[in-house]
Structure formats: structure tokens, C-alpha cells
Chain A
């Protein structure tokens, strides 16, 4: 008996909803992260600033802390300062590495030949980057606290145990710094998608990072996405300053949201209408 030939038919298969498609894309993208440099970078990136400052305090802390000074504030603010300088570079690298997984495999043509809308594919990668960025920053704070407690135990003469860790400021900084990296994520995501090589997006990101640090005193530096994390740190004191009102979201963080939104929407519009291969 000859088999039934699959033929043209008026009945179209049901299309899963956009959230189902997004969920499927996410589970696939999570699997693709296995053994990638992007995942290792996320897990290890918080170690460097904490380790450097831990060593500084372990070996030279007695010279740095004035009698009666809050060692936790000093240690946490120095660690965050290092992190805030490095964070834009981390986001640039992370974004390029995540998108690079697809670029290297020439995976985009495969993805867009599958029964999945372009928006879920676009958003899924973005959510992965956002998730890894959040994970890295939470891990950094956890390591920072762990390092502080270790200092407390190993160097009691620094008197960290006499003060409470600055949980509130760390929490505020964590949330606002995350906001302050979103513009970098948006810009770098679009750059990495449209430049299949690794070098150009990273070079553009490094140029932005240098510009952000160099122009820190410029009155419009808030518009430079790569300056965001450091600006957030400078506008969030670890100790209350009389008369200074710390906004829930600073202007430069709003600009970051603008950059993020504009880049992601523009990137999707290009993806929606451009030829893909």
C-alpha cells in the first residue's frame, strides 16, 4: 500500500502563542549556554574586584582605617568602585559572547527557518543577557559580603564586627547599577547582532567605556551609556549626607532606560524587515 502523501491542505497547523514561543526559545538558549565563556565570565566576574579589595584590606587594612572608622563602608565602597569601573567592560564582553554563540554557529539562519516568530527569538537572547547580567551582579554582592565576613573573622583588629554590613545601600546600589547597565546591554546587543565578528562590537564598547570614564566631568556625561555604573556609584553615598536626597532613579538611569528601549525596538524593527541570510 502506498503511503499517504502529505499534500497541500487548507488546514494550517495551530501556531503556539508568543509566550509559549518565548518559553521554548529561552529553554533552548539556556541549553546553548553550557560550557560557554559567557557563563564562566558571569560566574567569575565578581571575584576580581572582591579579591583585590579583600587582599588590600587583609594586608594593609590597618593602615587604611582611621580609629573608629566603619571598616564595612570603606571595604564595600572600594570594592564597588572597582566593580563600577569594570562593569561596562563586563557587559560589553558578556553581550558579545552570548550573541557570538549564535554568530559563530551561523545559527541565525537555522533559528529563523524554524516555526518561531522573530520577536520571541530576539527577546529570548535579550532575556538571557539580562539574566546573566543580573546573576553576575548579585554574585558580586554576595561575594563582597562573604569577603567582608571573612575579613571580620581573619582580621578582627580591623573591627568590622563592630559595624553592620551596609545591606540597604548595597541593595539600592545593586538595583540602580543594574538599571545603569541597561543602555549598554541594548546598544551592544544590536551591535553584536549586526556585526557577526567579535572584534568590532567589543572595540566599539571599549571606545564607549573610555569615553565614559574620560568625560566623567562633562555635564552631559549621563547620556553616555558606558558611564552609567560609575555615575550611579558617585550619586549614591554609602553614608547619609545631610541635605542630600538620593533619587530612586537618577536622570542618567532614565537615559539608560531610553537607550535600552530605543536600541531593542530599533534592533527588532531591523530584524523584522531585513533579509536574514
Chain B
């Protein structure tokens, strides 16, 4: 696999009037990845994606797609990109088929692509109904069809699960996985809910207040989970144990009989249990609790927000 980033921003900054939105963003989306671009609402995700598509002009910094500078080759580069930005742009008075057809004509693609993408997103049966009668989920799928139309090498999806029901979200995950695994596509998708994308992404970038606070593979993100794992110790009197053993000075008393201690290693856990027993304290329970990926995500975003 080519390891050069397919999408790369260098020191990207942007402000709306006087309000700074992005500061020195250095996004790197590896080719062939599904990159989850995560952050709370208002963190700068949509602004970043708009910058990647040339809809906004950066205050400073550069955007490179496929190794080329976007500012210099926008039209050529966008022919390899399919995008869905926030709510899909749909013409309510037209049918689903006509909506896709309008974009197909604009892109100068083969007529057969229209029916193909409608089938891909499961809208063939509703294709000749006016879009004004579509549900939110159907509109979202039609927006996805528009993004898939050019069979793009890079798919940029802004909050693609908006309006989708659980079955729709599951179908979307399946489709994204297929696109990556069977067709080698690179997918950059944003979300404010890590739970919605963690089953499908290979890489993660977390943005908070316009700054990238984490970027790496899902495995690296999971490694962060381990460093934040905690031992939960059930005993008779948590305060007494904490006072008796120097190993427990960094522990927190969660309840009268419960202590929480940062997890270091299995050996440390065993040594702690032995020390408690040696000190005459009962050990009713001892287990390791790992934060979920969502906890890690919240920790990342909350920590940065507090700074």
C-alpha cells in the first residue's frame, strides 16, 4: 500500500470574519483508509471538509489531494472526489433519478451510472418519485448516490449517518467497507459520534476547537484506551486501604468500599492484591475496567476544551 497521504493539509487555518475556526491543522488521510474525522459540534469538521473541496479559501496553509495542491488543480482533482456535505443538496421538485441525472450530466459521465448508483444505495424502486416525498433517510441515501456517481477514488462524507435509521447505518457501514476492501477507495467521513463510526474506520482524527488533538490508526487510539485503564478494587474500607499502602496513594475513593487505581500491568495488579492481603484487608473483588473508545474520545475533547 502506498503510505503517502491521499489527503494532506499543512498548517491549515481559517477564520469566519474575526472568529478563528481552524488553527494549524495538519490532517493526513492515508490512501486506502476509512478515516473517521471526529469532534463535537462546532469543532471545525465541516469547515475542514469544505476547505478540502475548495468551497472555502484557507487563511493560511495548504490542502493537497492525491499529492497535488488543491488551489492550483481544483477542477482536475475534484473529478476523482465524491462528496456529501452536511444536508444533501437535492431538488425537491425533481425525482430521485432526475436529481442524480443532473449531476451526471454536469460531470459528463456515462448514462448508465445513474441507475447503477441508485441501485447501490437501494433507491431503484423509489427513483421515479419526487424527492419532496422522500424520508430523511432516503434523502441521505440519495446524497450518497450523488457522491458515489463518479466512482470516486476519494469519498468525503460529512455526517453521513444523519437521518439514517439503525438498519440504514448498518447498510452504510457495509457499503463503506466494501468500497474500501473491494474497490480500494479512500473514505474520509466526519461524525460527532464515535460510536457510529468506530466499527468501520481504520484511522481516526479528533478535532476540538479547531485543533487536531489526536490523529492515528484505530489501533493507536485503542492503545490510548489501555493507558487510561483502571483497576476497580472492592474492599471493606477504601479509605483505610488507601492510608495503609503507599501503592494506593494515587487511588481515588469511588465509594466507601471501592477504590479506583490506574492500571499499570498484570504484575502490578498481582502485587497490589498480595499487599492488601498481607496488610489484613479483605479483597472482595478486583477487576480491570477499560474506557470505551467513546470515553477516550470524550476525554480527548474535554481535556482540550478545558485548556
B residues near A24, Cβ cutoff 8 Å: 105-108
B242 interface residue per 8 A CB criterion: no
Q: A8 to B89, alpha carbons, bound, how many Å?
A: 29
Task: Select B93's contact among A12, A27, A35, A106, beta carbons within 8 Å.
Answer: A35
CB of B89 within 8 A of CB of A5, answer no
CB of A109 within 8 A of CB of B89, answer yes
Main secondary structure of the interface of A (DSSP, over half): loop
Write the B102-114 contact mask toward A (1 if CB under 8 angstroms, else 0). Answer: 1101111000000
CB of A28 within 8 A of CB of B103, answer yes
Contact (A105, B90) CB under 8 Å given A10-B67, A113-B85, A117-B75: yes
Which residues B52-71 have CB closer than 8 A to chain A? 53-57, 66-68
CB of A12 within 8 A of CB of B73, answer yes
B307 interface residue per 8 A CB criterion: no
CB of B55 within 8 A of CB of A5, answer no
B residues near A31, Cβ cutoff 8 Å: 94, 98, 101-102, 105
Write the B64-100 contact mask toward A (1 if CB under 8 angstroms, else 0). Answer: 0011100001011111110101011111111000100
A110 interface residue per 8 A CB criterion: yes
Contact (A8, B5) CB under 8 Å given A13-B79, A115-B107, A116-B106: yes
B residues near A115, Cβ cutoff 8 Å: 75-79, 107
Residue in chain A with minimal CB distance to B183: A3
**Which interface class (under 10, 10 to 19, 20 to 34, 35 or more) fits A?**
35 or more
Q: A249 to B184, alpha carbons, bound, how many Å?
A: 61
Task: Select B102's contact among A5, A28, A112, A275, beta carbons within 8 Å.
Answer: A28
Number of residues from B at the complex interface, CB < 8 A: 51
CB of B31 within 8 A of CB of A5, answer yes
B305 interface residue per 8 A CB criterion: no
B interface, CB within 8 angstroms of A: 1-2, 4-6, 31-32, 50, 53-57, 66-68, 73, 75-81, 83, 85, 87-94, 98, 101-103, 105-108, 146, 153-154, 181-186
A sample of 29 inter-chain contacts (CB < 8 A) reads A3-B184, A6-B80, A6-B153, A6-B154, A6-B184, A7-B66, A8-B67, A9-B66, A9-B67, A10-B67, A12-B73, A12-B77, A13-B76, A16-B108, A24-B106, A24-B107, A28-B102, A28-B103, A28-B106, A34-B93, A34-B98, A36-B93, A106-B89, A109-B50, A109-B85, A110-B88, A113-B53, A275-B55, A275-B56
Q: A105 to B75, alpha carbons, bound, how many Å?
A: 22
CB of B80 within 8 A of CB of A276, answer no
CB of B92 within 8 A of CB of A104, answer yes
CB of A3 within 8 A of CB of B89, answer no
CB of A20 within 8 A of CB of B106, answer no
Which residues A109-156 have CB closer than 8 A to chain B? 109-117
CB of B91 within 8 A of CB of A7, answer no
A152 nearest CB across to chain B (Å): 40
**Besides A13-B80, A106-B89, A115-B79, 12 new A-B residue pairs in contact (Cβ under 8 A), listed by A number:** A2-B184, A8-B2, A8-B31, A35-B93, A106-B87, A109-B85, A110-B103, A113-B55, A113-B81, A115-B75, A116-B107, A277-B50
